[in-house]
Structure 1
Amino acid sequence: MLGRVLLVLLLLFFSITLRAQLKISGKVIDEKNTAIEFISIKIIDPKNKSNYTQTDSNGAYVLKNLEAGKYILTFSSLNFETKHDSFYLKQDTVINILLKENSNTLNDVQINAKKALIEKKIDRTVFNAENSVAAIGTDALELLAKIPGVRVLNDQVSLVGKGKVNIMVNDKLVQLSEDDLTNYLKSISSDNISKIEVITNPPAKYDAQGNNGLINIVLKKAIAEGFKGAFNSTFTQATHSTASVGGNLSYRKDKITLYTNLNIRKGSLAPFEQSNVFYPTQTWNIVNKDRNFRTVPSGQVGLDYQLSQKTLLGFSYNGGLTNFHSEENIRTTIFNSVQRLDSILNSDASAKIRSHYNAANLYLKQALDTTGKQITINADWFKFGDDKSRYFNNTSYAENGAIIQNAFAEYLSTSKQSIDLYTLKADVDLPFKTFKFSLGTKLSFIENESDLAFYQKRNEVYQADLAQTNLFNYKERTQALYVNLNKTIKKWDFQIGLRAEYTQIDGKSSNELNQNDYFQLFPTFYAVYRASETSNWGINYGRRINRPAYRKLNPFRWYSNQYVYAEGNPFLQPSYNNNIEISHVYNNVFTSALSFSHISNGFNDVNFIDASTNIQASKPINFITGYNYQLSNSVLVKPIKGWESSNQFDVFCNVSNSSIEQTLNNLKGFSAYFSTVNQFTLNKSKTIMGDVNFWFQFPAVDGLNNNRSQCNLDLGVKTLLFNKKIQIAVNATDILKTNQYRFNSLVNNIRQEYNNYYDSRQLRLTIRYIFGNEKIKQIDRKAGNEEERKRNN
């Protein structure tokens, strides 16, 4: 049925195209016969109404949907003399213009067209980081925490009321594990970020992966011709200290653009985890004191080459590694039924992890004409590997403090993993006079190999436990096609898309086979009604899929002590989500959105507890049917000159239904979230700035967990020196030490309580020095579709 509807829409749009009206097109050049980009073009029609456009990177322009009659064209730019042209339009007309350079042009000028801090578009909300005081002296992960509706807890990014989201950089999904993703985001300086797009319902051109949407970090691409760079250093003091240094360089000359960056971070954190497990006759109090150390170097290099006016070729490489080791003490105090000390289990542990990733991208962008029709081809290779080892011992003590006989044991667990990912993607953009049409395809191949082993020390020798030695192989192939249509009808903007994905899975672990293939359709729909110049209404719908992480598919057991372990599930299946949202934007100041989402076949980790053996086994399974109802409100105000305040208030209800008897059948609850991000300019020259940021999360239901309230207060001050070449920023995060993750759950009628703190109270000093040529002539290739241009990194 859906296919027939799309066919009818296609025929309708093409019939409209055949009846299209007249157009004016042409090219603007200078006295050296060089194409001039970003020339402003004003057209006055026979009814004395004005419209505007500008030339693209090839100096071309086009004005469409024109009726016969008298027109006046004006070509203008700061660096060129203004030129007027008056004529009578009878048919499609080509007008080429030569502009003379303005003799009064300044040699060194910087022009910044300032956008609103937050913009609402048809399919996303845009946070313009370039205009944010909060973006000075931070990194990408810290900047995400300052965006209304986005939360960063324990370095994990999520949306308020919805859960974790996938992260993209320049429209490309970052295929990293949680820890490596954190390191990568911290290596991106906020000074290199142009904007951040929050896409709760992604359109068809994006992968359908990720139930809760996407966050797309768009890096700055426009660079001055010549040489430019920056050096930055950061010192952070939490319980312990961390330092990082890095920098970036860029160079453009004629057809070549080169860019590179290098960063290294070294330091340690001291997270604290505490839990209580209430068995029928005992209470286990578990305290995990940890100090983990990281050394994280990473870098990027890229090259863009303009083969011709219509052809752009590029290559980029990203790489990084992490040297990690931790020192842990896990102390379990066991009380009897009358809360008297029964025994103590002590475990000392240390872990070493060395991981690395390499990512390469080759792309070709070919303009098909001067009206924006183009094709973009991306070939990507990503490789990730890690080598883990974890040593731990267990010692049991009686209530009098004496070591229980034969209670001491030593263990070693190891893991080696290798992930290879290859993708080939092609996108075609075909803007016509009355609508825009795009289509594309993507092929991806993933191969994951894991080699895990478990050893116990006997007679001073570690002996392998063959029953817990495992080689896990997992292969996944996906073929995808999508189509997307955009159409404007008077005050209405429409966008409709359909993505089809066919996936084949082949997994093998411990002689367990998991072979599966499935075909799924993912429709999207958006509509915006411009009721007035200050009032816009919107509605959107989309269907998504959430495929499990590779580690969740591996059934190997990873022990913390002899009673506690975690394992994967090779038969874990994807979950699916349907999302719908109705929104209203008033004067780009006040935004409200009412949304609903339904998740089916949802999966999560369940900590199964056996009262007879005291075994705690954590395993991911498909068991959740969930519903989320949410009302979001945001307002951007400027109470006084120099003060910009962005505020968010959400009210939501989460409902989780479970299909397994060990858990509660139903868990639901209302909650609310409030955040305020305030930026201050403290002097007339705008070189001293400050920010105050606060959020509060009321108690909420998350899956089968009841989360307690938490809040966070951050303060910061920044100054710009020596003609803004030097930036100095001091930031204090979680000043009140209230950003604690506290929750409880009930499994097998056994209550579990958790209270975790991840060392988030920190004081950070950042110094950044900018150098190089900053002339006005810049490159910002927008030959057709700016969105597809973001793939060039």
Structure 2
Amino acid sequence: MKLKYILISTLLSAALSAQVQKDSIKHVEQINLLVKKKLIERKADRLIFNVEASIASQGMDATETLANVPMLKVDENMGSISITGKSSVNVMINGRMLNLSGNALLNYLKSIRSENISKIEVITTPPSKYEAQGNSGLINIILKKNPNLGFSGNINSNLIQRSYSGFSSNGSLNYQTEKFSSSLKLTYYDSAKRTDENYNIIGASQNYSNSIRRDMWKELTPTLNMSYKISKNAEIGMEYIYAHQKSGMDIVNTTKNIDTSLNEENLLTNTFHREKLPTHTLSAYYDLKLDTLGKKLSIAGNFYKNNSDTEVNFSTLTLSDHSVQDVKTTSLISPQIFSAQADLELPFSFGTIETGVKFNQFKNSSDIRYFNLNGGQYVPDLSRANLFTYQEENYAGYFSYAKTFGEHWETKAGVRYEHTNAESFTPSSNSENKYNYGQWFPSAYISYKKDKNVFSFSYSRRINRPSMGNLNPFRWYSNPYSYSSGNPLLTPAYINNWELGYTFNNKFSTSVYYLRMKNAFGQISTIDDISQISTYLNYYNNNSWGLNASYTDTFFKFWETSIAMNATLQNSSVFNIDAETQKGSSFGYYISNTFTLNKNKTLVFFLNYSHSFAYKNVNSYFHAFPEMASGLKISLMEKKLQINATVTNIFAQRYRGELYFSDNTQYMNNYWDGRSFRLSVNYTFGSSKKKISKKNIKFEEKERAE
């Protein structure tokens, strides 16, 4: 009888405990609903978009999530992420620079789920703590704390149908204890697209070029991340990424050249381009908390190396005499980057001080060789071969001070100094170039908050250094006559950013900005007899005034909409070229709509539309570009299984524009296979015992290796 009483008491106790736990969970959920995060927040130096507060941003990858953030534009056709009205930006994860660009950046972001993102920070005028490199701003993706004790993981597969089918898949396996954290991630993608490019130069002589190209990418990338808490206040960690990349292009190019005497020459070139690009990235860090008030010392080191091994075979038929030239070029490019830094964060009662130092070293060597097929043998053409070496060292130090005054005022100011030593050498021409320069990069921020209103002002100075590809003088041939090359004489561009922002009720946000760019560089194309030659030049200064505005809200509990617009006015001057500058102006808007179709919010339909009107910039004119995307999202198995289907660029729009020079006008009309159907399936599994944090490591220089 006593045993029976104990058994009944135990069962009642268990049932009561389960009910209490259920009621507690329900109570916590109710509290969470009451304290739902604000969708948009404005701080002194950044705009914050809280992903968890956005219905439209659930059940998708990071690339799609960024497209929902006011002021941001994601263009998968161009492989770029930009701030509306400005140029491309750098992307960070928890303050660590990704240093990827183009398709490599987009593919990386596709492996991150929106469910793992806490918020996205848009920093249009970066503070002195961050590298001064970059001409527009930063996007900082803040991830949620690393999932759980024990094992957990994620599997994702994507099918994309353009002119050709593509596939990508990634998976992660995490293991956590109270002190040790590890993550093994594997990403694979195999994709292709069709490109139709037309570029015409019309002046005293004329050149008409059309390329039909199949672009192919294949990559297998394992990533290992580990960290260990040495003590309550100290932690060490490392990350190693190996990317085994292969890419290729099959190109059919037709070129018609008409010289000043109206003599016409037609060329037909078939090109077979293949590249192998094994890449190694190793990062390590040591964090030490100096006290319980938040004082912290961080030390980090990074190493990056790749060896780009490329072979290009092209066969050119000259139609006037039916002669054929068979040519092969090979190139080996080996960039290497090392960086080390130390950062100190010191919060005091009178304000927060941040200071630190950093050292970066860039090395690059390239070897390109040119061969003519003669008698069945490839014979080297030494006049077209080239060797190039480049080395750059950057020394940096920064100091910033932040102070909050009462409940309304927030201020921050800082300065960064960077000193650069650079040297390049081309043995074939015995040409050596050396640069030695130092620059100060100040920044300042102030914001005022009262009730639902937030006002802010920010300023920062930036530098845009040429990448190694921009500097390398060797020639990339598209046929025996036409080529593109870098320019070792390029010098950095400098940018000053001023911005005045306003946010109302965490839904409406607007900003007015002025951007001054000096000594900017870009790619210029010219005709030399039968050849079309492209190279890089410092050739313009630009003043840009702009207005951004956005409004995001939810109506009837099932419809979330976001409306954004941008308008700019530009005034430019050119040098080093003879060109007709345009008084620039642009206007564009974006509307996104997300509809929740059922009560459980597991079935969602979205329809997005954007329209960029025709605009002018420096010596160029670009035609209007409307774009529409739509799709359906389904969540199953308590949202552990998510299926997304999306159609992009429904109208299959082409990019068209003109460039105006004193002696010629250049026309482009390109289609980069923008219309696509994408199907994504994602499954999350694992333990959910306890969340712990994971360190992300800064490595801000790697993108300049491209």
Judge conservation of contact 1:141–1:155 (CA < 8 Å) in 2: no
Partner of residue 4, structure 1: none
Q: Would you say 1:752 and 2:666 are equivalent positions?
A: yes
Identify the match of residue 516 of structure 1 among 435, 446, 451: 435
TM alignment of 1:355-504, pairs within 5 A: 355-397=277-319, 404-405=320-321, 407-490=323-406, 491-504=408-421
Q: Do the aligned partners of 1:637 and 1:644 also contact (CA within 8 Å) in 2?
A: yes
Aligned amino acid, residue 595 of structure 1: Y
Give CA-to-partner distance per residue, 1:258-281, whole Å, 9 cap, x none. Answer: 112111111211111112222336
| Superposed counterparts of 1:127-146, under 5 Å | 127-136=49-58, 138-146=60-68
Match of 1:701 among 600, 606, 616: 616
2:645 to 694, 708, 730: 730
Deviation at 1:174, TM superposition (A): 2.8
Match of 2:123 in 1: 199
Identity in percent: 32
What is the DSSP-based 3-state SS (H/G/I as helix, E as strand, rest coil) of the residue aligned with 1:638? Answer: strand
Seen in structure 2, the aligned counterparts of structure 1 residues 108 and 312 have a Cα distance that, compared at 3 Å, is farther
Output aligned runs, 1:228-243, within 5 Å. 228-243=152-167
Flag the 1:419–1:186 CA change in 2: closer, same or farther, 3 A: farther
Distance 1:192 1:463, change over 3 A: farther
Q: C-alpha displacement at 1:604, in angstroms? A: 0.9
> Per chain length, whose mean CA-contact separation is higher, i.e. which structure has more relative contact order (CA < 8 Å, sep 6+)?
2
2:307 match: secondary structure: strand
Preserved CA contact (<8 Å) 2:539 2:577:
no
Write the mapping of 1:592-741 to structure 2, written as runs, cut at 5 A: 592-610=510-528, 613-664=529-580, 666-738=581-653, 740-741=654-655
- Give the deviation of 1:661 after TM superposition: 4.0
Distance 1:410 1:792 in 2: 46
- 1:323 aligned to which of 224, 243, 246: 246
Letter in 1 for 2:439: Q
Indicate how the Cα distance of structure 1 residues 661 and 351 shifts in structure 2: closer, same or farther if over 3 A, else same: closer
Q: How does 1:86-97 map to 2 (within 5 A)?
A: none
Give the drift of 1:755: 0.9
**1:771 equivalenced with 2:688 (yes/no):** no
What's the secondary structure of 1:141's corresponding residue? helix
- Distance (Å, rounded) in 2 between the aligned partners of 1:107 and 1:251: 31
Report the Cα distance in structure 1 between the residues aligned to 2:282 and 2:23, rounded to whole angstroms: 38
CA gap of 1:406–1:714, structure 2 versus 1, over 3 A, is closer
Question: Are the aligned partners of 2:84 and 2:548 in contact in 1 as well (CA < 8 Å)?
Answer: no
Q: Secondary structure at the match of 1:413?
A: strand
The correspondence of residues 175-214 of structure 1 with structure 2, limited to 5 A, is 175-176=99-100, 178-214=102-138
SS of equivalent to 1:745 = strand
The CA deviation at 1:218 is 3.0
**SS across alignment from 2:582:** strand
**Cα contact 1:654–1:669 (8 A) shared by 2:** yes
Instruction: Return the index of the structure with the highest Cα Rg.
Output: 1
Q: CA deviation at 1:623?
A: 1.6
- Alignment of 1:349 with 2:349, yes or no, is no
1:656 counterpart letter in structure 2: S
Residues 661 and 735 (structure 1 numbering): CA distance in 2 closer, same or farther, change over 3 Å?
Answer: closer
Cα distance in 1 between the residues matched to 2:388 and 2:481: 24
Aligned-residue offset at 1:336:
9.2
**In the alignment, which residue of structure 1 is the partner of 2:222?**
299
SS in 2 for 1:223: coil
After superposition, the C-alpha distances for 1:427-481 in whole angstroms (9 at most, x for unaligned) are 1111111311111111111111111112222222222121221111111111111
* C-alpha deviation, 1:552, in angstroms: 0.9
Once the two structures are superposed, residues 630-663 of structure 1 have per-residue CA deviations (whole angstroms, 9 ceiling, x without a partner) of 0111111223211111221111012221012422
Corresponding residue for residue 85 of structure 1 = none
TM superposition shift of 1:136? 4.8
The 1:720/1:435 distance shift into structure 2, 3 A limit, reads same
Supply the distance in 2 between the matched residues of 1:711 and 1:170 (Cα, whole angstroms): 34
- Describe the shift of the 1:557–1:721 C-alpha distance in structure 2 as closer, same or farther (beyond 3 A): same
Deviations 1:566-606 (A, max 9, x none): 11111110010011011111111111111001111111111
How many aligned residue pairs are there?
672
Verify the 8 A CA contact 1:148 1:676 in the aligned structure 2.
Answer: no
CA distance in structure 2 between the aligned counterparts of 1:214 and 1:410, rounded to whole angstroms: 46
Distance in 2 separating the partners of 1:722 and 1:570: 57
The aligned residue for residue 152 of structure 1 is 74
Within the alignment, does 1:250 sit opposite 2:213 as a pair?
no
Stretch deviating more after TM superposition (349-358 or 297-306): 297-306
Q: Once the two structures are superposed, what CA deviation does each residue of 1:375-431 show, in whole Å capped at 9, x if it has no partner? A: 11111111122111111121122xxxxxx3263211112211111111111111111
The superposition leaves residues 342-374 of structure 1 with CA deviations (integer Å, 9 ceiling, x where unpaired) of 553211111001112221211111111111111
In the TM superposition, what are the counterparts of 1:219-298 in structure 2 within 5 Å?
219-280=143-204, 282=206, 284-298=207-221
- One-letter amino acid of the structure 2 residue matched with residue 507 of structure 1: S
Give the corresponding residue for 2:3: none
Question: 2:440 matched to 1:527?
Answer: no
The residue number in structure 1 matching 2:498 is 580
CA distance in 2: counterparts of 1:236 and 1:308, whole angstroms:
47
Aligned partner of 1:82 in structure 2 is: none
Q: CA deviation at 1:243?
A: 1.0
1:118 is matched by which residue type in structure 2? I
Tell me the SS of whatever aligns to 1:551: helix
Structure 2 vs 1, CA of residues 389 and 527 (structure 1 numbering), >3 Å: closer, same or farther? same
Secondary structure of 1:371's partner?
coil
Letter in 1 for 2:434: Q
Q: 2:432, 2:97 → 1: CA distance?
A: 28
Which residue type is aligned with residue 547 of structure 1?
Answer: R
2: distance between equivalents of 1:412 and 1:218? 47
Q: Which amino acid aligns with 1:165?
A: V
AA at the equivalent of 1:326: M
Shift of 1:197: 2.2
Contact 1:435 1:488 in 2 (8 A): yes
Question: Which of 98, 114, 117 is the aligned partner of 2:39?
Answer: 117
Could you tell which deviates more after superposition, 141-150 or 517-526? 141-150
**Are 1:126 and 2:48 an aligned pair?**
yes
**Could you tell which deviates more after superposition, 415-424 or 200-209?**
415-424
Provide the rounded CA distance (Å) in 1 between the counterparts of 2:297 and 2:283: 16
336 and 609 in structure 1: CA distance in 2 versus 1, 3 angstrom threshold: closer
Alignment CA distance shift 1:452-1:136 (3 Å): farther
Give the whole-Å Cα distance in 2 for the aligned partners of 1:536 and 1:495. Answer: 16
Give the CA deviation at 1:540: 0.6
Whole-Å separation in 1 of the counterparts to 2:191 and 2:523: 30
- Taking only aligned residues, the RMSD between alpha carbons, in angstroms, comes to 2.5
Cα distance in 2 for residues equivalent to 1:321 and 1:180: 12
SS for the counterpart of 2:400 is: strand
- The residue matched to 1:147 in structure 2 has which SS? coil
Tell which deviates more after alignment, 752-761 or 135-144. 135-144
Unaligned residue ranges in structure 1 (runs of 5+) = 1-100, 398-403, 782-788
Contact 1:271–1:759, Cα closer than 8 Å, also in 2 = yes
2:425–2:433 Cα contact (<8 Å) kept: yes
Secondary structure of the 1:181 match is: helix
Assess if the C-alpha contact under 8 Å between 2:538 and 2:576 holds in 1.
no
Question: How far does residue 114 in structure 1 lie from its aligned partner after superposition?
Answer: 4.1
**Contact conserved, 1:363 with 1:792, CA < 8 A, in 2?**
no
| 1:684 Cα deviation from its structure 2 partner | 0.9
Deviation string 1:118-162 (CA, Å, 9 cap, x unpaired) is 332221122333444444554433443343322233112222221
Name the CA distance, whole Å, in 2 between partners of 1:193 and 1:454.
48
